[in-house]
Amino acid sequence: MTNGTYLGPSPVAPAPEGLRSSVEHACSLWAPIRQFVADVPDLRRVYLVGAGGSFIGLTAAQFVLDSEAQTPSVAINSDELFFRSPPGVGPGALVIALSGTGNTPETVRAAEWALSRGAAVAAVTLKADGPLAQALPTAFVAQSGEGNQVLLQLVALAVLDRDGIDVSPHLAALRALPTALEAAVDAFEPRAAEIAAAMHDVPVTYAMASGPLIGPANTFTSCFLQEMQWMHAATINADEFFQGPFEVFDEETRCLVFLGEDDTRPMGERVSRFLDQHSGRTCYLDGRDLELPGIAADQRAFVAPVVFYSLMFRLAAHYAAVRGYALEGRRYMWQFPY
């Protein structure tokens, strides 16, 4: 299965430049994001909208809203929003549409529909000149995927702020994130090489996670392994693992487990106890092991999804290096109409 993208094993691509500056840029947009949310008349519900990797990327912000906000919210796939046409989308609704390139037609259509219904709609994107940003009167433009994640967290914080909740500890953590993120990514390189060497040829890659780390885990299995490496892979919610999936695990199974520091950690620890007894090799990525200088202890769980998001990009680079398949390759996506 080469399709022109097999380059052979190669040195690992270096970490992208601009990680620090892109997160700093995202943090600088707090004031306009806060004002936009504050100006929504009679806010009654928040809709986070995206498709594919962008839908997965809504997980962390949705977790913050579910855990702390009084205003109800939902994360929904772009076409699900459009075809379901929820009656709650209208005046009093805040719709945040995420698309990295801004080219996802399903998301553009969903955002335009929500705008036509009278909802307050804003884009989170990397392209000010992309179709999504151009279709809406308001767009918050990041400089990297990590920047998009920070912008979504700021949207969630703006909703909390509107609800009368003190968000200053969360904001302090985001402002300390550029230094912490660089330290975590640098420290992860040897571990990423170890995991890629152990897992690059497994028949099926299972990743287990809970809470806000479901997003990074899904990003890795769906976007990097399935889409870019053509590997069979799936993410399983740590609690759902015991509702059937654990029956396929045996001494030949190898998997990844993401452990966070949030309130859902016991779910992942339960999975770990089972796997250590009944499964083959398990590679753990534990948030407690991360070097996060400048992040208060009670804020590590809050920033973990953004950090894990970056770590997944580095892990994917190591997979590409050892497997020999370029991350840019696709068999179907963008190749023809579908």
Domain of residue 239, CATH code: 3.40.50.10490
Residues 195 and 306 in one domain: yes
User: In this structure, is residue 161 part of a structural domain?
Assistant: yes
* Burial category of 332 from C-beta neighbours within 10 Å (exposed 0-12, middle 13-18, buried 19 and up): exposed
Q: Identify the domain boundary among 166, 189, 214.
A: 166
Q: What is the pLDDT of residues 195-247, one digit of tens each?
A: 999 999 999 999 999 999 999 999 999 999 999 999 999 999 999 999 999 99
Residues 93 and 192 in one domain: no
Q: How confident is the model at residue 7 (pLDDT cuts 50, 70, 90)?
A: confident
pLDDT, residue 328, reads 87
Residues 226 and 94 in one domain: no
Q: Which residues, in sequence order, are CB contacts of 130 under 8 Å at separation 6+? A: 99, 101, 102, 103
Q: Identify the domain boundary among 141, 166, 191.
A: 166
What is the distance between the alpha carbons of residues 64 and 291, in angstroms, rounded to a whole number? 22
SS3 state at 100: coil
Q: What is the pLDDT of residues 294-320, one digit of tens each?
A: 999 999 999 999 999 999 999 999 999
SS3 state at 243: helix
Average pLDDT of span 267-283 = 96
Strands 93-99 and 233-237: unpaired
User: In this structure, is residue 7 part of a structural domain?
Assistant: no
Residues 158 and 182 in one domain: no
CA trace torsion 19, 296, 273, 232 (10° rounding): -20
The domain in which residue 230 lies consists of 178-323
CA geometry: angle 185, 189, 190, nearest 5 deg: 145
CA trace torsion 328, 334, 335, 338 (10° rounding): 140
